[in-house]
Structure 1
């Protein structure tokens, strides 16, 4: 596949930072949050409240630091052979010739989501959107994250090609989970995104996890009123 480094977009939006929620932007009059938050939401919604609404900062874990290092290494290798392209030109070219890109930015103002796809394969007959994760377990939260990337890509392009969501073991070529982005899957992820919007608007409460193992390993536990040290 031809490697394209997508750095430009023909369509531009007026962007404002949310006045009180860190990380949220206002695009076309709607709260717009990073798609990666869906992974955090699936782990514990209350983490989002503590980190972005209360503004509590903690040091990154060793796992997070290691993951960032691997991610950067892959990005540097990719850029050595990739040629620059606009998003729109890459999508159009891929209808005839297969294209691979990394760190592909997608934004869907109508749903209030945005984020960077780890890797995307745009082929004449299908689009494969890949998110790299540690381990080989497809959690609901990680599946939701890559599904939201699919939704944003579809929203941006209106592409009629089959779209697949995939999770890959970080640092390997192992795609340990893959699914077709069907209308049923699309409906489910829209529902999850609507809940996130409700959390940000204050119409829904942040629900903490009930899993004590998650609580014990949480880097926000010392700030969390729901944490019980048993």
Structure 2
């Protein structure tokens, strides 16, 4: 009986050892497969990151080119616009005028759209039929003097009579004591839609100091370029710091394993 028990115990232990060896080999195989899967995932992730980096670099380069082209166009256009001696400048249906007098300075609490000498006003081309009382309009007071412009508020609108096709208007500056002579709707250039304080004085200064204006525009362009380069360098330094931290972590992990 004792011998039989010894034999059965030895057989049981052998079976257990065989199962343990099988389980150990299976766990090793599972670990290897998991490691292979993780390696594949990491390689795919690296490829995606590299592709994304290439795309981002291309996009940033295109954005840089577009940015500089827009700046050059804006600066060049604004410079040509400012040095132009033509008073009646038109851009996409809008006209720009320098204000020379204080005839439209605010004198009452209810007045809106006022402006002063040294400002710049933006006028939108408008048909005389669309003008109403209370609008601020720019017009030619006398057709013989086509280079003279007034911008005053409409205080009266006279509808056309008989053979007349356009209405007539009576205007007055808000700070003036008397109204202007009656004008035809054909003399109207447009309605004032916006004013830029002191912009007229700046334009006048640029016209009178062209060389100084060129230096200012070039300096502004260089300043934008320097600021952009500074931010790019800061981004590169941040990325390098992140990379160095990762490498330190990996080295520390390797040393711990050893």
TM-score (norm 2): 0.19
Q: Per chain length, whose mean CA-contact separation is higher, i.e. which structure has more relative contact order (CA < 8 Å, sep 6+)?
A: 1
Question: If you compute each CA radius of gyration, which structure gives the higher value, 1 or 2?
Answer: 2
Structure with more of its chain in strand, by fraction: 1
Structure with more of its chain in helix, by fraction: 2
